[in-house]
Structure 1
Amino acid sequence: MRVVEAFTAAYGASPATVWHAPGRVNLIGEHTDYNDGFVLPFAVPWGVTAAVTPRADRTIRLLSLQSSSGEPVTLESHEESRGWTRYVVGVLEMLGDRVAGADIAIDGDVPQGAGLSSSAALEVSVASALNELHELGMTPMELALLSQRAENDFVGMPCGIMDQAASALCREGHALFLDCRSLGSRDIPLDLAAHGLSLLIIDTQVHHEHAGGEYAKRRAECESAARKLGVPALRDVTDLAEALGRLQGDERKRTMHIVTENHRVEALIGLLRAGAVTEIGALLNASHLSLRDQYEVSSPELDLAVEAALRGGARGARMTGGGFGGSAIALVPESRLDTVRESVSSAYAERGFRAPRFLPASLAAGAHRVA
């Protein structure tokens, strides 16, 4: 394993443990997590592998195999962290006096900027390794919550719990239905191949950076709307027409998306439980239109990917992730995969967009020890 080889070369000894945590794709339930709503993500085969050995002092040495320097970064205090190291140091910060320093090597293969949550995979892999090494006894959900706090409070990204929960909890072959208020979850079997279907990830190659920007603005709009409606969160709106009559402008549109998106999550799970897997495409389409028009987090590249995929024979398609770039997903009959790829590629070429990247989505396992 190359991360073990790199760790040993950099630090002069083998790591004490090695953990892998995956990225995720969200099948449906976008921007509902920080509104206490429902989400349905699944883990993808790509993720982050962390080789870790604890230290007795407070020094943190970090090596990323994706770093151009190829050399470890040594930090004597948490305040010295910059860039990608903040996600790792944030985890250590949240663990406080339960841990000291650590020697860490990181190897990741989540496509950067594709909206597949490489940051959550990084946090959860390190948190899982430290949990084992220091015998902290934290559950996967506790590790997800700690990783979310690291991103919220240390990195400064006001994300919800979905990404970290998916990375920590998902089971192979299953999507994860998560109630983001109660943190109750259950595994939803999703055997697309049995129905002649595949999920195709379309990476627009438009890399997004929404920390502290548009993402935070959407969250603030939702919180303001909830206050005006007198509910703890938009998840609690029961009479949508009445609520919309009391709101204006962007807050009205954000509320419409969140309430209807929660309904779409529940409807999609109902279709899956009924065995109507081929019928979920319409819900994916409706989700994308809502994200485009009501939540306003799509982009020309995402819209074109969805439109061209549907023209090529996809049963449904939507942007996935925070938006402003990243990836779309398309539900495609296996016999139409080549046609859909060609349709999207041709549409991008006609518009002068950078060629998209296509990734086959399979449902992988959550965080686990690999060495």
Structure 2
Amino acid sequence: MQELNRSIILNMIREYGPISRSDIAKRKQISPTTVASAVKELIQAGLVCEDGAGASNGGRKPIMLRISPENRFLIGVSVTNYTITVAEINLEANIRKTHTVDVAADPAHGEQIVQLLLDSIAAFIAQIPYMDRCIGISISVPGIVDNYRGIVYYNSKLNWHNVALKDIIENSFQLKTWIENDMNAMVLAEKKFGQYSKFRNLLYVHAGGGIGAGIVVNDEILRGARGGAGEFGHTSVDRNGIRCECGNVGCLETCVNWDAVRAKLQAAAASDRSSALWSLTNGKLADIRPSDFSAALNVGDPAAMTVMNETLEYLGAGIVNMVNLFNPDVVILGGKLLYGNDVMIDSIKSYVRERALQFSIQSMEVHPSSLGDNAELIGAASILLQDVFRFSLT
């Protein structure tokens, strides 16, 4: 109970600070003595500091309290199917510094990628002389994840099966560790640190190296029976399509992940040297980046438009299905294929509004991710911070 009260009070200060001890006691109906004791511990721990005197209501001016975001920090780790990024992040989810290693360039799989993760964290930590101020390690990872036990049950690209990642990390670094599915982490981050806190029902769609979705229903993350909810990329969209790494045929991910889109762009530009894609890459079509795709769409390049329309038929249809299933207040579009790609985002908006159930979308909004390129790391941070501050999604 004492720890719970401390976390509740800490979150009150985070949300409403500067705030006085008496205001905390009144708002949460906690005794002033309990508040004073908890605040004393939080100040000693370096999590909270006094911030001068507030306005008087007739008596002595109250001493105001606020979070000390720089006195403590966390190690946030974003694992994707292609990279591992380790970051130092403060208590307001602000990223101080990062280091990224390439997974795609390494032929390692399974246990070797776990070792690469351990090595990456160890190398990063070795450069930090004040690790005594670290409150833990928080990791977001694609795949089916048991966030409570910290087990990655399945990830086809990383070849992870029943990997007890939480135990592995904690045993290696003696730091408390949190593990969460990357899409759940990102929709949590959009809700708590992004621009979408007012919504109770959110659908976060991520299109990049893989395709996934994070779903919040009535202010609760939808996880499913074993953490498998939101595997949007493994919904079937083409019964005559290619075989996916998951074993199924015609998964959405095989049609619209960045690798698939880039291959189509390369083929289209190779047959038309007047394409903007050719000039943007100086003829090095193997180097096409998402920003090149976006730039080509902005000038109406026919090759880029053709690929976008083909992609939209799959991705747009998938989003319509999700909208009709979950009736969200807002659809958030993220990932390197979509972020900054205004033409494609506008096309998705139009596609959804034309094809989804009209009653369901009357007040629904569609927006790009408010966290941009940092969504994955802020998502990783939000996992730990949610537990430390014990904030809810309401």
Question: Shorter-chain-normalised TM-score: which range?
Answer: under 0.3
Q: Give the TM-score normalised by the residue count of structure 1.
A: 0.26
Higher relative contact order (CA 8 A, sep 6+): 1
Q: Give the TM-score normalised by the residue count of structure 2.
A: 0.25
Bigger CA radius of gyration: 2
